[in-house]
Amino acid sequence: MENEVTVTIRIGGESGEGTISGGDILALAAARWGYYVYTFRTFPAEILGGPCMFQVGISNKPVKSMGDYADVLICLNKEAYDRNIDDLHHGGVLIYDPSDFTPETGDCITYAIPFNEIARKEIQLFQTKNMVMLGAISGLFGPPLEAIVQVVESKLSKSRKANATLMEKNLLALEAAKKYVLEKLSKHDPYVLGPVEKADRVVLNGNQALVAGALAAQCRFFAGYPITPASDIMEGMAKELPAVGGTFLQAEDEMAALASVLGASYGGVRAMTATSGPGFSLMTELIGLSSMAELPAVIVDAQRAGPSTGMPTKMEQSDLSFALHAGHGDTPRMIVAPADVKDCYELIILAFNMAERYQIPVLFLTDQSLTARVESVDSDIFKPLPLQNRTEFDTHATNGTNGKTLVGAAATSNEYARYAYTASGISPISTPGTGAVAYVATGLEHNEQGHPDYEPEDHTAMMEKRFRKLDTATEELPQPQLYGDEDATIGLIGWGSTEGTIQEAVDRARARGYKAAALHLKILSPLPDRTIRDFIHSVQKVIVPECNYSGQLANLLGAKYGLQAIRVNKFGGIPFTAGEILRAIEEVS
Amino acid sequence: MTQMVINPTPKDYKSDVKPTWCPGCGDFGVLNATYRGLAGLKLAPDQTVVVSGIGCSSRFPHFMKTFGFHSVHGRALPVAQGLKLARPDLTVVAVGGDGDFFSIGAGHLIHAALRNIDITVVVMDNEIYGLTKGQTSPTSPQGHVTKSTPYGLLASQFNPVATLLSLNVSFVARGYSAKPKELGALIEQGIMHKGFSFIHALSPCPTFFHTFDAWDASVTLIPADHNTSDRAQAVALAMETEKQYIGLFYKEDRPTMNDAAHQLAERARPFDIEQYIKRYT
């Protein structure tokens, strides 16, 4: 087996000067060159100005987390140095422009490269500064310049401003920087990204995979309102839906977005909306309606740091409690949370299947870091998956509902029990169209026929019927898999985008002799009761790492299973590193 | 729009659910006018959806034999638009009251008007909140004393027809519940019109704001010589304070958003994930 080669490169700079786009190009080039990549970025909500950071883990083995420290740190200004130097690995590489600042002497390897001068004087176009940086990276570590040029070319040709001069300047910048490092610097660090076998992989972020999954799930209506970090889901659907016969609406607000989705769903069309915390708050009345009228809907909440407007471009897992309870009254809903880019594809399809099968709102809780996280994923993940349809009412089973005598068909509609009490809780639904039996979908409490009904027995029976669907689903839905030691003494329970980081911490703990295992929940409503109970009982201590203040999953597990979890919370807007979780494991052992 | 093969009567659209409205409520007249309008068009109940929000008048879908969607307060229009965009083959009618459309749902009304999606909107306006038992509404007259404005309403009165005309709505009409035949004809025309059709239906409340006599006196047919393509003239009629004109104010044929959206879809092909994902190699 070949040795693992992993280089984690961080670029720190100012928003608007190409830091993030330069990082994206690097990640894509490395991935196309044959490496696995995993990116993390943080940037301000403002369009221009403010510190931003891009980090990419590049490895010949799958990358599970963003890495505890950077091996290579490129600082495009003094502030980037001040902010990031503590996250550079001991003995790592610091690259800077001596015209910006002089670093303190430390235990790192330093390369001084005049980015500004090369861009300004040699290329005479300051915007090429990020190309100068990429050329230097290529010269020092790899990947080869050709891989970078390919990506730059494909990015530029997509842009409306594509022009030969700019491309020419970019090429010059890349080459000048590479020449500079080869001629003027003597490499004395161990980081080399050599040739690697190419594999059949695709490189994309969470939101891109989510859009692909929604389209594969036959989602054919989308309504949304712009909000960071969910807007590119909306933009993706706006672009792609017409090509597959679907329709799109940019709604005037999030209430209208979800209401339109319910309208489309009533018409039998698979429909979705995507938002973030503030928009999700506005949608709650419609979540109640979706649940009460039993209309399928998929609602993506790309979580960001709250409360209120919070930190729109920062990561947090703090909408779980809200997602569990959003809406007045007792409102059954289902919740799915993806852990990685692959999940954004596979689990959004599961979310659609759940919405259709159980005629219920399904909330899909991704988060800011995952929306933008670029990963290399094996291409064969992206294949058609089985789709489940809603159970349609069979008109042929009803007298007088022949499609030709339409008034006659409607005449029997009072007999059609749209909300029939069934053992599973799932009642056959009718969709408007020729020969269909009409009914009224309503947010009022209703009887089996859908007529308003406030009788105590009926409300009781209808509440039980709606909640019965969760029990049915608990039996039918996939169970989470244990990761780590079967005989673990320390257990970790997590949810959402932290899975890879937790698994890496478990790996490292086991390598140090600890007995550890992790259970990662991807369906948070209904919870896989049996698996969770068994896991809790099988270990001595349970750690629940979450990127939120209050320990929302720990609270849920405490309320449901009486679990006194060891809470590990991080809520600065940045995800966990594996090292932080490893420390928690070591501390409780 | 799908029609039936047989000749229906208004009764054929009436469900067995008894209306919950007070005796004498104007909404009965609007309901009858709607039965009439649908029968006149021979609309197939299985391909017609009546959408509403919350309020006295929003119980409407339950009294119809068509498909119905009784949604939440203020959101009838977004529901109706989503449905029509996704299912352009269906006839979609949105109904409700002045509170629903002009207060809590007012934000939606503006954008629905601008989009020109082919739905018909019937707003039953009684200038009062009935279901919550008598608070002021956006269409209540200035100075009006209600339970929530014990010292008189301080805000100006909302003028629905003039507002909708200013929003470039392609079909604007007003009817009166006491004249169900005329109102039924307007509903028929509204459904026939390809585009966003707005019908302001004066529908008095016998319990909380008795306007029957005043409206009987003020309601006047739009002059026969009114040019329904002249928006400025229509606005002038709508701004009239002494008379409340009923009839068709304005009509214009122009492309609908649902047609435009589905024109794109004509070149649609089935989704192929294995092809699609190649863009990320």
H or E element in which residue B131 lies: none
Residues B248/B186, Cβ–Cβ less than 8 Å: yes
Average pLDDT over residues B111-124: 97
Fold match between A204-381 and A482-588?
A: yes
H or E element in which residue A78 lies: helix A78-84
* A35-61: b (≥16 Cβ within 10 Å) or e: bbbbbbbbbbeeeeeebbbbbbbbbbe
Q: Which residues of B touch A289 (CB under 8 A)?
A: 71-72, 75
* Record: contact B67-A202, CB cut-off 8 A: no
What one-letter code names the amino acid at A480?
P
* Record: contact A264-B85, CB cut-off 8 A: yes
pLDDT at A6: 95
Percent of chain A with pLDDT strictly greater than 90: 89
B21-280 is classed in which CATH architecture?
3-Layer(aba) Sandwich (3.40)
pLDDT at A480: 97
Q: Report residue A257: phi and psi, to 5°.
A: -60, -55
* Record: contact A432-B277, CB cut-off 8 A: no
Q: Which residue in chain A is spatially nearest to B274 when comparing CA positions?
A: A383
The mean pLDDT of chain A is: 94
Size of interface A-B (CB pairs under 8 A): 215
Residues A134/A76, Cβ–Cβ less than 8 Å: no
CATH class of A482-588: alpha beta
> How many other C-beta atoms can be found within 10 angstroms of the C-beta atom of residue A510?
16
H helices of chain B, in order, are 26-41, 76-86, 98-99, 106-115, 160-166, 180-192, 212-218, 231-239, 257-265, 273-276
pLDDT at A159: 60
B35, B56, B84, B87, best to mutate vs chain A, most A CBs in 10 Å: B87
Q: Which residues of A touch B261 (CB under 8 A)?
A: 242, 247-248
What one-letter code names the amino acid at B227?
N
- Please choose, from the candidates A293, A233, A224, A226, the residue with its C-alpha nearest in 3D space to the C-alpha of residue A256: A224
* Record: contact A440-B61, CB cut-off 8 A: yes
Examine the pLDDT at B209 and tell me if it is beyond 90.
Answer: yes
If you write DSSP's letter for every residue of A502-524 in order, what string do you get? HHHHHHHHHHTT--EEEEEESEE
pLDDT at A395: 63
pLDDT tens digits for range A508-527: 999 999 999 999 999 999 99
CATH number among 3.40.920.10, 3.40.309.10, 3.40.50.300, 3.10.28.10, domain A6-199:
3.40.920.10
380-409 in A: which are within 8 Å (CB) of B?
382-384, 403-407, 409
Q: Which residue in chain A is spatially nearest to B84 when comparing CA positions?
A: A264
DSSP B118: S
Q: How far is CA B188 from the centre of its chain?
A: 12
Task: Determine contact: A243 vs chain B, CB below 8 A.
Answer: yes
User: What is the spatial order of strands in the sheet that A201-205 belongs to?
Assistant: A109-112, A88-96, A70-75, A6-14, A51-59, A36-42, A374-378, A201-205
Residues A334/A354, Cβ–Cβ less than 8 Å: yes
- Please choose, from the candidates B88, B113, B244, the residue with its C-alpha nearest in 3D space to the C-alpha of residue B169: B113
Average pLDDT over residues A87-105: 94
Average pLDDT over residues A38-67: 91
Examine the pLDDT at A396 and tell me if it is beyond 60.
Answer: no
d(CA A382, CA A342): 8
Tell me the Ramachandran region of residue A519: left when phi exceeds 0, alpha when psi lies from -120 to 50, beta otherwise. beta
252-281 in A: which are within 8 Å (CB) of B?
252-253, 255-257, 259-264, 266-269, 271
Domain assignments of chain B as residue spans, ordered by start? 21-280
Distance from CA of A145 to the nearest CA of B (A): 18
Distance from CA of A24 to the nearest CA of B (A): 13
Confidence of residue A544 (pLDDT cuts 50, 70, 90): very high
Ranges A311-325, A340-354, A383-397, B176-190: which has the least confidence: A383-397
Residues, chain A: 589
pLDDT at A158: 63
User: Distances from the Cα of A587 to the Cαs of A537, A563, A566, A568, A584, in angstroms?
Assistant: 21, 19, 11, 11, 5
Q: Which residues of A touch B62 (CB under 8 A)?
A: 440, 442, 451-452
H or E element in which residue A29 lies: helix A19-32
* Record: contact B280-A253, CB cut-off 8 A: no
pLDDT tens digits for range B171-205: 999 999 999 999 999 999 999 999 999 999 999 99
Q: Which residue in chain A is spatially nearest to B80 when comparing CA positions?
A: A263
pLDDT at A462: 98
Distance from CA of B233 to the nearest CA of A (A): 30
Average pLDDT over residues A227-247: 97
Confidence of residue B49 (pLDDT cuts 50, 70, 90): very high
Q: What is the CATH number of domain A204-381?
A: 3.40.50.970
Residues A251/A223, Cβ–Cβ less than 8 Å: yes
What's this model's pTM, rounded to 2 decimal places? 0.95
pLDDT at A510: 98
* Record: contact B66-A410, CB cut-off 8 A: yes
Q: Report residue A408: phi and psi, to 5°.
A: -60, -40
Ranges A246-250, A409-413, A472-476: which has the least confidence: A409-413
3-state secondary structure of A397: helix
Q: Among A255, A267, A411, whose Cβ lies nearest the Cβ of B90?
A: A267
Q: Which residues of B touch A434 (CB under 8 A)?
A: 2, 44, 46-47
Ranges A302-306, A413-417, A565-569, B36-40: which has the least confidence: A413-417
Q: Are strands A516-521 and A482-484 parallel, antiparallel or unpaired?
A: antiparallel
d(CA A330, CA A444): 14
Confidence of residue A165 (pLDDT cuts 50, 70, 90): confident
Q: Report residue A342: phi and psi, to 5°.
A: -55, -45
The mean pLDDT of chain B is: 96
Examine the pLDDT at A400 and tell me if it is beyond 50.
Answer: no
Domain assignments of chain A as residue spans, ordered by start? 6-199, 204-381, 395-476, 482-588
Distance from CA of A117 to the nearest CA of B (A): 35
Task: Determine contact: A444 vs chain B, CB below 8 A.
Answer: yes
Angle between helical axes of A164-184 and A145-158 (0-180°, round to 10): 160
pLDDT at A48: 75
User: Distances from the Cα of A296 to the Cαs of A87, A264, A293, A353, A423, in angstroms?
Assistant: 45, 10, 9, 9, 19
Q: Among B65, B108, B271, whose Cβ lies nearest the Cβ of A244?
A: B271
pLDDT at A135: 97
Q: Which residues of B touch A264 (CB under 8 A)?
A: 82-83, 85-87
Q: Among A242, A288, A436, whose Cβ lies nearest the Cβ of B264?
A: A242
B17, B21, B69, best to mutate vs chain A, most A CBs in 10 Å: B69
- Please choose, from the candidates A170, A179, A125, the residue with its C-alpha nearest in 3D space to the C-alpha of residue A150: A170
Residues B207/B180, Cβ–Cβ less than 8 Å: no
* Dihedral angle of Cα A450, A453, A456, A462, to the nearest 10 degrees: 10
Examine the pLDDT at A399 and tell me if it is beyond 50.
Answer: no
Average pLDDT over residues B233-240: 98
Examine the pLDDT at A577 and tell me if it is beyond 90.
Answer: yes
Task: Determine contact: A204 vs chain B, CB below 8 A.
Answer: yes
Average pLDDT over residues A157-162: 59
- Please choose, from the candidates A50, A48, A49, A100, the residue with its C-alpha nearest in 3D space to the C-alpha of residue A74: A100
pLDDT at A162: 56
Tell me the Ramachandran region of residue A268: left when phi exceeds 0, alpha when psi lies from -120 to 50, beta otherwise. left
* Record: contact A409-B81, CB cut-off 8 A: no
Task: Determine contact: A203 vs chain B, CB below 8 A.
Answer: yes
